[in-house]
Amino acid sequence: MHLPDLSIAKERGKKENKYITLNENYQKVFTGQKYFLRTYGCQMNVHDSEAIRSYLEVLGYSPAEDINDANIVVLNTCAIRENAKDKVVGFLGKCKYLKKMKDNFKIVLAGCMCEQPDFIKEVQTKYNYVDIVIGTHNIHDLPKLLLQDLDTQKIEVYSNSDEVIEGIKYKRDSEITAWVNIQLGCDKFCTYCIVPYTRGRERSRKKESIIEEVKHLVNHGYKEVALLGQNVNAYGKDINEKFSDLLEGVAKTGIERVRFVTSHPWNFTDEMIDVISKYPNIMPYIHLPIQSGSDKILKKMNRRYTKEEYLELFSKMKERIPNVAITTDIIVGFPGETEEDFEETLDIVNKCQFDGAYTFVFSPRIGTPASLMKDDTPINIKEERLHRLNELVNKYSKLNNQKLLNKVVEVLVLGVSEKDNNKVYGYTDTMKLVNIKGSKEIIGSIIKVKITDAKSFSLDGEYIK
Ligand code: 5AD
Ligand code: SF4
């Protein structure tokens, strides 16, 4: 048993990264058995689930469409807000029932919730029917644990690892667009955020390994890579590399589209802006969380920039990167946020007119400084602020989308539309979702599309042959 320890996350020190290359072979001992994998949370978790799936399939498991047909269920959990936890706990109830009904049914918990000591205590008591718990640093231990005798609960969670694991095999969701981890963890310690504790200190992968991975993807027909990091543009600070050089290297592999998420305003340099504007295959799309428009709240959040500094960076990007789309994240109801502070947030939304924004009500996370701050704004006021903010955000998303009406844009087609079988869907270079009348043959191509309708969250278009 190895338990998580939030306090270790604070001991940042100057430890060197340990690069470990896996080279493991497993036998297909579970052939004929099925797995059901459910993922909660961010892109990092989505990509981690691609590793989990690969490990399960290497051991012989095949995917089950329906959880009732599964022999094993894996929940890759998210800890970012309380409602993410509620969903996992709700689903665990269903798993408990299945375990009672079926012989030899296994339950595995992975992901960020498993890095929280308080949750682990609950797993040991309330959810003691869970078979295996692994953390975010040791997904590669899953096969070894599955091959052990599971008479007793196995909890193997490590905190703040210095390791950078290479050689993880991914069973990717798409054959067209691929997530590529470039950096793990976060050293920013925004006061509301659990990520530095659940994902450990900032560690960058070696540039050569990343470029090799992208070249491999190009050779296998991938059209797009999305470089992933909690603070993607802080890439390289720990190993004397620069994100701008990495971006350039990735663009030169010949991949048709390069994206990257998520950027922190504090780390965004002019060199990065130059590289993005220089290479046509680096997409003009930047997700740049602002979190609040009030300097007082930004300071309490430990965001390291002021409203003015954000606006300066925003304008620079708009000036220098042709046709760039910028989206953001915003939290309302942070402890101490007054109506005036909230109005500063509305003001920055009016000034930036974002292409889109993910908006959240502050959710206190155990172990973070903000969870201890005095918070006397009633929840109904917070929700009302969220509602007002969303109305404004949606207005600008729609206005930005409407600017594309009757224009011809390039779309990378990713699949058949879920709502209508006669349509396919894809994304513009600026990451706008487009539904297009057309058949499956165009999936995987970058096509020209004339935009015929614009809503807040999507566009409709016609394929121009
Ligand atoms: N409460 C509400 N929103 C949060 N986020 C991160 N932590 C919290 C929290 N405790 C939001 C931030 C971040 C996004 C991924 O989630 O806006 O950018
Ligand atoms: Fe969390 Fe801030 Fe790090 Fe983003 S930059 S992961 S919000 S601590």
160-206 confidence digits (pLDDT tens): 788 999 999 999 999 999 999 999 999 999 999 999 999 988 999 99
Q: Is the dihedral of CA 180, 182, 185, 190 positive or negative?
A: negative
Q: Which atom of ligand 2 is nearest to the CA of 291?
A: 7
Residue nearest to atom 13 of ligand 1 (CA): 329
If one residue of 6, 195, 290 were mutated to test the ligand 2 pocket, choosing by the most ligand atoms within 8 A of its CB, it would be 195
Residue 338: cis peptide before it, omega within 30 degrees of 0: no
Q: CA-CA distances (angstroms) from residue 440 to 60, 275, 317, 464? A: 30, 34, 36, 15
Distance from C-alpha of 110 to C-alpha of 135, rounded to nearest angstrom: 6
- Three-state DSSP at 31 gives coil
Give 326's strand partners. Answer: 286
Residues of the chain short of pLDDT 70, as ranges, are 10-14
pLDDT at 410 (0 to 100) = 97
pLDDT at 54 (0 to 100) = 97
pTM, two decimal places = 0.96
Distance from C-alpha of 194 to C-alpha of 87, rounded to nearest angstrom: 18
pLDDT at 457 (0 to 100) = 93
- Residue 236, by phi and psi: left (phi above 0), alpha (psi -120 to 50) or beta? left
Contact 189, 197 (CB under 8 A): no
Q: Is the dihedral of CA 4, 137, 246, 318 positive or negative?
A: negative
Q: How far is the CA of 397 from the centre of ligand 1 (A)?
A: 21
Specify the amino acid at residue 450.
K
Q: Is the dihedral of CA 100, 101, 105, 111 positive or negative?
A: negative
pLDDT at 23 (0 to 100) = 86
Contact 109, 77 (CB under 8 A): yes
Neighbours of 29 (CB within 10 A): 12
Tokens of 54: 């690969």
Residue 192 in contact with ligand 1 by CB distance below 6 A: yes
- Per-domain boundaries in the chain: 6-163, 174-283, 289-302+309-402, 408-464
Residue 446 is classified by DSSP as: E
At the topology level, CATH places domain 289-302+309-402 in Transcription Regulator spoIIAA (3.30.750)
Residue 178 phi, psi (nearest 5): -130, 140
pLDDT at 14 (0 to 100) = 61
Q: Which atom of ligand 2 is nearest to the CA of 231?
A: 5
Specify the amino acid at residue 396.
Y
Measured between its terminal Cα atoms, the distance across the chain in Å is 60
Q: CA-CA distances (angstroms) from residue 329 to 86, 157, 361? A: 22, 30, 11
Q: How far is the CA of 80 from the centre of ligand 1 (A)?
A: 6
Taking only the tens place, the pLDDT of each residue in 303-334 is 999 999 999 999 999 999 999 999 999 999 99
- Three-state DSSP at 361 gives strand
Q: How far is the CA of 289 from the centre of ligand 1 (A)?
A: 10
Count of positions (residues) in the chain = 465
Q: How far is the CA of 240 from the centre of ligand 2 (A)?
A: 21
Residue nearest to atom 4 of ligand 2 (CA): 230
Residue 189 in contact with ligand 2 by CB distance below 6 A: yes
Q: How far is the CA of 186 from the centre of ligand 2 (A)?
A: 6
Distance from C-alpha of 181 to C-alpha of 183, rounded to nearest angstrom: 6
pLDDT at 7 (0 to 100) = 77
Residue 349 in contact with ligand 1 by CB distance below 6 A: no
Q: CA-CA distances (angstroms) from residue 274 to 181, 311, 316, 429? A: 23, 18, 11, 17
Residue 285 in contact with ligand 1 by CB distance below 6 A: no
Burial of 151 (0-12, 13-18, 19+ CB in 10 A): exposed
The residues, ordered by sequence, that sit 6+ positions from 253 with a Cβ below 8 Å of its Cβ are 211, 214, 215, 218
Superfamily of domain 408-464: Nucleic acid-binding proteins (2.40.50.140)
Q: What angle do CA 123, 126, 132 make, to 5 degrees?
A: 30
Contact 250, 283 (CB under 8 A): no
Q: Which atom of ligand 2 is nearest to the CA of 187?
A: 3
The highest-level CATH class for domain 174-283 is alpha beta
Is the domain covering 6-163 a CATH 3.40.50.12160 domain? yes
Burial of 392 (0-12, 13-18, 19+ CB in 10 A): middle
Residue 363 in contact with ligand 1 by CB distance below 6 A: yes
Which among 330, 264, 327, 265 has a CA at the least distance from the CA of 292? 330
Q: What angle do CA 154, 20, 158 make, to 5 degrees?
A: 30
pLDDT at 391 (0 to 100) = 98
Specify the amino acid at residue 97.
Y
Neighbours of 293 (CB within 10 A): 23
Taking only the tens place, the pLDDT of each residue in 368-397 is 999 999 999 999 999 999 999 999 999 999
Only one residue has tokens 């057309």, namely 438
pLDDT at 12 (0 to 100) = 62
Distance from C-alpha of 110 to C-alpha of 76, rounded to nearest angstrom: 5
